[in-house]
Amino acid sequence: MKAYLTCLAGLLISIIVALSFGSSGISLLEVSQHLLLNMNGGAIASQTELSSIIMFEIRLPRILVAGITGASLAAAGVVSQGLFRNTLASPSILGTTSGGSLVAASMFFYGSAFDHWYTLPIGAFLGAATATYILFLISKRFFGLQIQSLLLAGFALNALLGACTSFVISLMLEDQQKAASVMHWMLGGFAARGMEHFYMVLPTFLIGIFLATNITHKLDILALGEEKAQTLNVNMKVLWHISIVCIALLVGGSVAVAGAIPFVGLVVPHMTRLVFGPKHRNLLWLSAINGASLILLMDLLARTLMAPKEIEVGVLISLFGAPFFIWLLLSYKEGVRN
Amino acid sequence: MAGDEILLEILKETHQLNRLVAISTLADNDNYSNIANEAKQIKGRAGRELESLINLRPDLIFLASYNQPAMIDRLRKSRITTFVLGGFNSFDQIKKNISDIGNIIGAHEAAQKIISNFDSTLAAFKKSAPAKKYSLLNFSTSSTLSGKNTTFDNIIEAAGATNLANKLKIEGWSKISVESLSTLNPDYIVAIGEANQKDQIFTQISQTPGYRHMQAVKNKKIILVDGRKLLAVSHHVLEATAQIQASLLEYEKKHK
Amino acid sequence: MKNFLLEIEKLNLIKDSISILENISIKPLSNSLVALIGPNGSGKTSLLRSIAQIETYSGIVKMAGTATSTFSQAQFSKIISWTPSSFQLPFSYSVLDIVLMGRFPTHNGRPQKIDIDKSLEALEQMDILDFKDRHVTTLSSGELQKTMIAQALASDAQVILMDEPCANLDIAASMKLLKSLKSTVLQNRAVLFSIHDINLAQRFADSMICLSKGRVVAQGLPKDLLSQELVLEVFGTNSDWLQNKLGEDQFVFY
């Protein structure tokens, strides 16, 4: 289909561009010429070895993590917008991101974030998953799994977790270094990410998107309304459960390795739907592809614009997010006038 | 900054400044850096962005302790020898960092020289200490006091005074309530600032809750210290002690 | 023994301790167009929702001779179609896509030729075949209503429930719709729809059911059911049967 070709082409270009550029100036061509370099274990002997190291230890893993994170967030966005029947829903509605942030902040405070590379990601993921689960339980217990109630409970939970996170951060403000570390993490980014992060987020992405693919047709029917969908043989309970697990996995995995990256889950599905249509089967995969492309390009800017400093990817995305909303507002006004 | 300042000092000593391939981007900022001028001699700059860091092809990187493990892993997997410095919350920790750095770069003697200078400066401070042991308290707009296990604590003690924050048994830095703060009555308040900002800072302190009713404020007993020295994480920290002791002695002389 | 398409026995609906529907029993319906009338709040919407199993009721509802409580959700969804009185479509699907959704219980997201053919047929029946590629978000309320009705007609359902299908339609469109529904019931279907325009209802419906305050007040042929006394009691207005120039019976209010 034309849409897939277009988006995949975009992704391919993004990958090539991302692989080709970096603050060290190592080019893809350079590296590919020495792809089968046989490396010995000692110190870096030559410029070629250096190029290979930069490419395969620093740049490529980072690109892989960035791509899969972008895809995860966009896919989660598609599921949330489908579940809530709202083109402005964001997967962070379910408290996943704020749950991960709270645990991450706490781990910085207690210092366990500095123990091993995996303590922070695992903690963040567990925080994300737990928050979503708690939300789910509360909605089920008190409001009977109605979508409206899930939405409101989500707002409440986000507010609560946000407040707790602010509190934990405030405890760290005296320790400037800890405070800085937390801020870096919360703005979201891919500095120092390696293949281990990629392997960590890969299963959550694969399972999440597999589950999401299975519910795409039902999400289409859900657009008619919950009750109508029910009469058309969509089991709302099952759809609920699967959607929430999906979102928890996709967002949780991404928060674990990249921190709290904003907007992607909202903007990418929204724009993809505008251009390529609302059918969820296509929307899911096209959004995932576009999400990957977007994050790859943003990350390229993040690591090259102000090198040797790193700009957090989350910051760049927020800078783009604001104009997006303004554009949305203007086009809405345009639509209303028409 | 600890690594930068210490390395610079040691390599100056051994006349091997060209070995210092890069320093952190913060080194150029003369609000925080004690080596802002000398930094101009060092070509490379290092930040969190790893490609540019590795591209410098350093034989050795010194990382601060608070960097994330992922960064350390990445550098080691890139076969760059990485040494993680210890903390810098006390004179002893600073001296250990100097010693470690010196040993690792093969400049043991230069490092030991810096350390013995450090110790002899401390001894000199002891000799010239003011007659009375005054009590000092740090000024903070957010009522965050520096207690035990901070360089501030060591700085004050070395100057021959006592850190009043210890009365509240504070460990490290701690934000305390305004009520607790107002129970303290130090002889002098230590604030960060330049001499020409004295009036501004005094106005600020006299408007800050918790501090404004202190005797020291009424008697205008404020000691200003260069922030770069007071917050230094290297041997430069002794210059703060010097400034504080000098101010104390001056006040003492005036009110004889 | 002929299996009736829809039978209801002693259906009760209580929500928040309020009795919405009381002891509703409906004479078995075969393929016929049945109009559900009654004042606002009489329970028409609730009855349709209950039959569609959106509300949890007590009582027995049978379709094609079998109690609906024994059907699985999959079986039930193939036998019944329910169209609400209003809809909010958040995404801009095409009209054809929306109509195809009506056959979801059959195709599960993978429409075959037969699904597309039946959908196009339904669009033609509702006179909106030209709209098939238009986005639903660009439709007027009347056009959207026709789309949702076409969605119901496209399905294989034998019992079709519609809550005020004429709500957003002008007179000509309403008459056309009811004619359409009349022909659809010939394909072994029962269509139960609520409506406020009683005259329109009596012209086209095979039978009528009148509700008042949650109870069935009358069920039968329009001629037999619509009397001055009933209308006065239920609606509180005067009415009468008149004949138009063509000799057709009209039921009017005054």
Residues B245 and B221 reside in one and the same domain: yes
Residues B218 and B140 reside in one and the same domain: yes
Domains in chain A (CATH in brackets) are: 2-32+47-329 (1.10.3470.10)
> If pLDDT is split at 50, 70 and 90, which confidence band does B96 have?
very high
- Of B64, B69, B174, nearest to A116 by CB-CB distance is B69
Residues B148 and B117 reside in one and the same domain: no
Residues B111 and B153 reside in one and the same domain: no
pLDDT at A248: 94
Q: Is residue B217 one of the residues assigned to a domain?
A: yes
Q: Is residue B128 one of the residues assigned to a domain?
A: no
Residue B15's domain comprises 2-123
Minimal C-alpha gap between B23 and chain A (Å):
11
Residues B156 and B187 reside in one and the same domain: yes
* Length reported for chain B: 256
Chain A neighbors of B25, CB-CB under 8 A: 308-309
Is the distance from CB of C250 to CB of C199 less than 8 angstroms? yes
Calculate the average pLDDT of chain C: 91
Q: What is the mean pLDDT of residues A305-326?
A: 87
Last residue of a domain, one of B95, B123, B151: B123
Chain A neighbors of B39, CB-CB under 8 A: none
Best C55, C91, C107 residue to mutate vs chain A (most A CBs within 10 Å):
C91
Is the distance from CB of A130 to CB of A98 less than 8 angstroms? no
Query: Cβ contact (<8 Å) for B79 and A173?
Result: no
Minimal C-alpha gap between B25 and chain A (Å):
8
Q: Is residue B129 one of the residues assigned to a domain?
A: no
- Of B52, B64, B73, nearest to A23 by CB-CB distance is B52
Q: Which residues contact B240 (CB under 8 A, 6 or more apart)?
A: B155, B225, B226, B229, B230, B232
**Cα–Cα distance, A113 to A105 (Å, whole number):** 9
Q: Does the pLDDT of residue A143 top 80, yes or no?
A: no
Q: What is the mean pLDDT of residues C234-243?
A: 90
pLDDT at A207: 97
- Of C49, C92, C109, nearest to A278 by CB-CB distance is C92
E strand or H helix that includes residue C67: strand C66-67
Q: Which residues of B touch A (CB under 8 A)?
A: 22, 25, 45-55, 57, 59, 64-66, 68-71, 73-74, 77-81, 142, 144, 172-175
The predicted-structure confidence for B206-239, as pLDDT tens digits, reads as follows 999 889 889 888 888 999 999 899 988 899 999 9
Chain C neighbors of A225, CB-CB under 8 A: 84, 87-88
Residues B59 and B85 reside in one and the same domain: yes
Residues B9 and B119 reside in one and the same domain: yes
Q: Chains touching chain C at 3 or more Cβ pairs under 8 angstroms?
A: A
Is the distance from CB of A22 to CB of A7 less than 8 angstroms? no
The count of structural domains within chain B is 2
Residues B32 and B113 reside in one and the same domain: yes
Is the distance from CB of A181 to CB of A113 less than 8 angstroms? yes
The predicted-structure confidence for A108-139, as pLDDT tens digits, reads as follows 988 888 888 899 999 999 999 999 989 888 88
Sequence spans of domains, chain C = 6-253
Q: Does the pLDDT of residue A158 top 70, yes or no?
A: yes
Residues B78 and B50 reside in one and the same domain: yes
CATH of segment(s) C6-253:
3.40.50.300
> If pLDDT is split at 50, 70 and 90, which confidence band does B256 have?
low
Last residue of a domain, one of B123, B154, B179: B123
Q: What is the mean pLDDT of residues C184-202?
A: 90
Chain A neighbors of B65, CB-CB under 8 A: 114
- Of A87, A231, A235, nearest to C52 by CB-CB distance is A231
Tokens standing for residue B8: 């610079």
Residues B248 and B177 reside in one and the same domain: yes
What CATH number corresponds to the domain at position B173? 3.40.50.1980
Chain A neighbors of B54, CB-CB under 8 A: 24, 50, 53-54, 58
Q: Does the pLDDT of residue A338 top 50, yes or no?
A: no
Residues B139 and B115 reside in one and the same domain: no
How many other CB atoms are there within 10 angstroms of residue B148's CB atom?
15
> If pLDDT is split at 50, 70 and 90, which confidence band does C117 have?
very high
Whether the complex's predicted ipTM is more than 0.85 is answered with yes
Whether the bond between A308 and the residue before it is cis, its omega within 30 degrees of 0, is yes
Query: Cβ contact (<8 Å) for A196 and B25?
Result: no
Q: Which residues contact C43 (CB under 8 A, 6 or more apart)?
A: C13, C20, C21, C24, C211, C213, C214, C215
Tokens standing for residue A273: 């739907």
pTM of the predicted protein model: 0.89
Query: Cβ contact (<8 Å) for A217 and C90?
Result: no
**Cα–Cα distance, C198 to C194 (Å, whole number):** 10
> If pLDDT is split at 50, 70 and 90, which confidence band does A326 have?
confident
**Cα–Cα distance, A258 to B9 (Å, whole number):** 38
Query: Each residue of C172-207: b (16+ CB within 10 Å) or e?
Result: ebbbbbbebbbebbeeebbbbbbbebbbbbbbbbbb
Count CA within 13 A, CB hemisphere, residue B78. Answer: 35
Residues B95 and B144 reside in one and the same domain: no
- Of A115, A119, A174, nearest to B173 by CB-CB distance is A174
The predicted-structure confidence for C156-174, as pLDDT tens digits, reads as follows 999 999 999 998 889 999 9
Q: What is the mean pLDDT of residues B70-84?
A: 89
> If pLDDT is split at 50, 70 and 90, which confidence band does A32 have?
low
Q: Does the pLDDT of residue A31 top 70, yes or no?
A: no
